[in-house]
Amino acid sequence: MFKMKSGKILNGPLLFLLGPALILCMVFVAWRVGQQPDDSHSAEDFFSLPSDNISRVDLEYYVHVLSGAQMGGRESGRDSGQQATRFLLAQYKSSGLKGFFNGAFEQKFSFPAGIKQGQDSHAWYGTDVASLASEPAKIDVIPVGFAAPSFGEGPLVFGGYCVSAPARGFDELARINVYGKIVLCLRYGPGGKKGEFEDAISFRSKYEALKRRGAAGVIFLRRPDTPPVQAAMFSGSSEVGPPSVIAEPDFFYDNVEWLADEDSDDTDARAYSAHLGEQIGWIRIHMDYETEQLEGINIGASLKGTFKPGQSDGKKWIVVGAHYDHLGLGEFGSLDGPGEIHNGADDNASGTAAVLEVAHSLKKLYAANPGLIPDPYDVVFLHFDAEERGLFGSEHLVSSEYFSGSNVVAMLNLDMVGMLREGKGLQMQGAQ
């Protein structure tokens, strides 16, 4: 995806130089990532820049390195992300370009990287309050950090999917009293992950609905056919609220004879369970975790090195950017779950490669003809870290002393440019 944020329209030599160069980069990157673009248009149809300035070999090399197994998925703040940082720094330090951050190429920042499970995250179950006190069964759980670490105890009741979507005519929680109770919630909702209640089936949506109704705690039940859930997927909170955890289904299937049938794909999308609100035991849950902070690094360079703190008035920047991080081993944000390297060739080694190649190309062209980019203009190349974690790198940069909106003429943000899908082509956002 090709995103453009602009207060003005680029014109003259800058548009002629940047636009076609970026388009050709995207075509070459798409070729490398795997889907051949339409060959009915040649490079000459797009522009007449010297062919050796935008190199297919260079782009292939960048994508190959950044998405290779040895890079480990480029997770922000981890060893794999630091490898990607070192690679980008090496490219820029040998390029002849100027470091954007007052002469330096890197900008460090810290960001929240999910939560780490504490040793005391457990649940204890009994068929009634007496058995919970005398011989409880211990259950391993994963903390869901929507509230501060806390403790809860009470009767365990079945909440079905715990979906509350009154505007669509389906509200399980309106049919039961959850006040002061621990509620067991099935995963997703009627109709599955892609059913008609998609906006009400997230962990967060269910938790907030139960919190408003005074529930003493929440146990989310993982379905056997879904990827494992990791504590790192949740950001943590300092707010007071009922504890919430995720548990594997086997224990509850074994102790509640009808539960496995309720948790099947055959459930009618509009049917309320006959067991809704039924008490199925007594439970104590302890949600224990610590938040984790990691260090990310933005990379920035420019053609002219015009930025100096307090001396950037009147400068006009065209920013070409892309995030360079990805999902690592998939412990957060993965559709397939953790364990395997998420290479991220398209998202976003492709955009990163395009920015690198445009930076090197413009450096050559500007050195040969400085009149191509007249004062007060400069072209800035930015690589953001921790985008997958929540846009932390870009947010840090725009709130820092190194950024002023009054200096930016336009930003060209390259994200997932490696897949030119048939019938869709190049998507441009924010360029109306």
Torsions phi, psi for 247 (to 5 deg): -125, 150
- Dihedral angle, C-alpha 398, 300, 347, 117, nearest 10 °: -70
Residue in 186, 242, 184 with CA at minimum distance from that of residue 215: 242
Answer whether 66's CB lies under 8 Å from 302's CB.
no
Position 258: which residue type?
A: W
Whole-number Å distance between alpha carbons of 232 and 80: 17
Answer whether 201's CB lies under 8 Å from 193's CB.
yes
Q: Which residues of 330-341 are buried (b: 16+ CB within 10 A; e: fewer)?
A: bbbebeeebeeb
pTM over the 0.75 mark: no
Whole-number Å distance between alpha carbons of 366 and 362: 6
Question: What is the token pair recorded at 27?
Answer: 């075509």
Print pLDDT tens along the chain (432 aa): 444 333 333 444 454 456 655 655 554 455 445 444 444 444 343 344 434 468 888 999 999 999 999 999 999 999 999 999 999 999 999 999 999 998 999 999 999 888 999 988 999 999 999 999 999 999 999 999 999 999 999 999 999 999 999 998 999 999 999 999 999 999 999 888 877 888 899 999 999 999 999 999 999 999 888 877 888 888 889 899 999 999 999 999 999 999 999 887 555 566 899 999 999 999 999 999 999 899 999 999 999 987 766 566 788 999 999 999 999 988 777 777 778 999 999 999 999 999 999 999 999 999 999 988 898 999 999 999 999 988 999 999 999 989 888 889 999 999 998 877 777 777 777 766
Cβ within 8 Å of residue 148, ≥6 positions away = 237, 238, 239, 240, 241
pLDDT in tens, 8-33: 334 444 544 566 556 555 544 554 45
Torsions phi, psi for 123 (to 5 deg): -130, 150
Please state at what angle helix 56-67 crosses helix 351-368, rounded to 10 degrees.
140
Q: Decide: helix, strand or coil at residue 426.
A: coil
Whole-number Å distance between alpha carbons of 51 and 395: 36
Q: How wide is the angle at C-alpha 81 spanned by C-alphas 287 and 335, nearest 5°?
A: 55
Q: Is the dihedral of CA 413, 419, 424, 426 positive or negative?
A: positive
Whole-number Å distance between alpha carbons of 226 and 40: 43
List, in sequence order, every beta strand (DSSP E) within 350-407.
Answer: 377-384
Whole-number Å distance between alpha carbons of 142 and 125: 16
Whole-number Å distance between alpha carbons of 231 and 3: 32
User: Is the backbone peptide bond immediately before 348 cis, with ω within 30 degrees of 0?
Assistant: yes
Question: What is the token pair recorded at 216?
Answer: 């003493």
List, in sequence order, every beta strand (DSSP E) within 272-364.
Answer: 279-287, 289-302, 316-323
Give the residue carrying structure tokens 């954007």: 100
Whole-number Å distance between alpha carbons of 33 and 42: 19
Q: Is the dihedral of CA 251, 254, 260, 262 positive or negative?
A: negative
Torsions phi, psi for 45 (to 5 deg): -70, -25
Question: What is the token pair recorded at 264?
Answer: 């099947």
pLDDT in tens, 303-358: 998 776 656 678 899 999 999 999 998 877 777 777 899 999 999 999 999 999 99
Answer whether 122's CB lies under 8 Å from 141's CB.
yes
Residue in 151, 145, 140 with CA at minimum distance from that of residue 115: 145
Question: What is the token pair recorded at 419?
Answer: 């897949």
Alpha helices in 294-350 (DSSP H): none
